[in-house]
Amino acid sequence: MALKPAIINVMEGAARKAARNLVRDFGEVEQLQVSRKGPSDFVSAADLRAEDTLLRELRKGRPDFSMLMEESGSAQGVDNQNRWIVDPLDGTTNFLHGVPHFAISIAHEENGTVVAGLVYQPLTDEMFWAVRGSGAFLNHRRLRVSAREHMQDALLATGLPYRGKPKHPSYMATLNAILPMVAGVRRLGAAALDLAWVAAGRYDAFWEFDLERWDVAAGLLLVREAGGSASDMAGRDNAWSGAEVLATNTALHGNLRRIVGKSLHNTENATE
């Protein structure tokens, strides 16, 4: 059984407290689906309540840390070398529509490097966590990325741009290039969980554009600590910004990077 370090215990305690309200609010959202007004305002409130709980609990555990939170933005702490990076509700659109696929994501960044991360799915009670150099775990079980080596056997995950998001041509180009070569592609709408599932071997790879640091900080650490590869589309160590994310098992990374890179190159040439 894996013993959780103190920093993970702080994250877990905060995530479980925030999760109790999210689970309760999710039950309310399911009921609101039948109303004319819909649950949009209610979900916004649920998101903010979860963030307030996480902020309060994380500050109890590490009162001097700085913060980067999806809703509240940055907050400078006494300790500017250590920072929490928090997404209180990854998969907000799923939550909004009563789809039971969402998560809380928390990462600890030290001197610009993510050193610990946690992704928690409240409805299934799955706690994915990792510490830099010490491996990745699901609850108390060690995680390893999948061992699949052939594209035709691979199940991939991605995200697609929604209203107001750029890069529609880029997304479609990569999707059209990859779809004929793999066993399947899923778009479930929660990037932190997608990355956690790559770490767990449920997906063989994940790619997406235009994410934010709080979407990917914990999940990318999970993938790497589970033995996987993570980069931008050119293979550089720039995935942590969220602008371009390609996370895979090690065997598929090079091939997928070439496919994605070629499709992006062709798209750029076609638009010139």
Give the chain's radius of gyration (CA, Å): 18
Contact 118, 8 (CB under 8 A): yes
Q: Position of tokens 């109790």? A: 20
Both tokens assigned to 269:
């040439």
Q: Which residues contact 133 (CB under 8 A, 6 or more apart)?
A: 225
Cα-flanking dihedrals φ and ψ of residue 41, to 5°?
Answer: -65, -35
Torsion angle (degrees, nearest 10) of CA 165, 218, 137, 193: -20
Distance CA 108, CA 84 (A): 5
Residue-level pLDDT at 37: 45
Per-residue pLDDT of the chain (272 residues; tens, 9 = 90+): 678 999 999 999 999 999 999 999 888 876 665 444 455 555 678 888 999 999 999 999 999 999 999 877 888 889 999 999 999 999 988 888 889 999 999 999 999 999 999 999 999 999 999 999 999 999 999 999 999 999 999 999 999 876 556 667 778 889 999 999 999 999 999 999 999 999 999 999 999 999 999 999 999 999 999 999 999 998 999 898 988 999 999 999 999 999 998 888 676 665 55
| CA 231 to mean position of chain CA atoms | 14
By the 10 Å C-beta count (0-12 exposed, 13-18 middle, 19+ buried), 212 is classed as middle
pLDDT of residue 173: 87
Structure token digits, residue 178 = 């990859």
How many Å apart are CA 101 and CA 51, to the nearest integer?
18
- Distance of alpha carbon 89 from alpha carbon 215, whole angstroms: 10
pLDDT value of residue 115: 98
CB 111 within 8 A of CB 105: no
CA distance linking residue 158 with residue 151, whole number of Å: 15
Instruction: Give backbone dihedrals phi and psi of 144, rounded to 5 degrees, phi first.
Output: -140, 140
CA angle 198, 204, 209 (to 5 degrees): 70
At residue 214, the pLDDT reads: 96
CB-based contacts of 23: which residues, under 8 Å, 6+ apart?
122, 123
Question: What's the pLDDT at 270?
Answer: 57
Tokens standing for residue 262: 């070629």
Residue 147 has a pLDDT of 97
Q: For residue 93, what pLDDT is reported?
A: 84
pLDDT at 98: 86
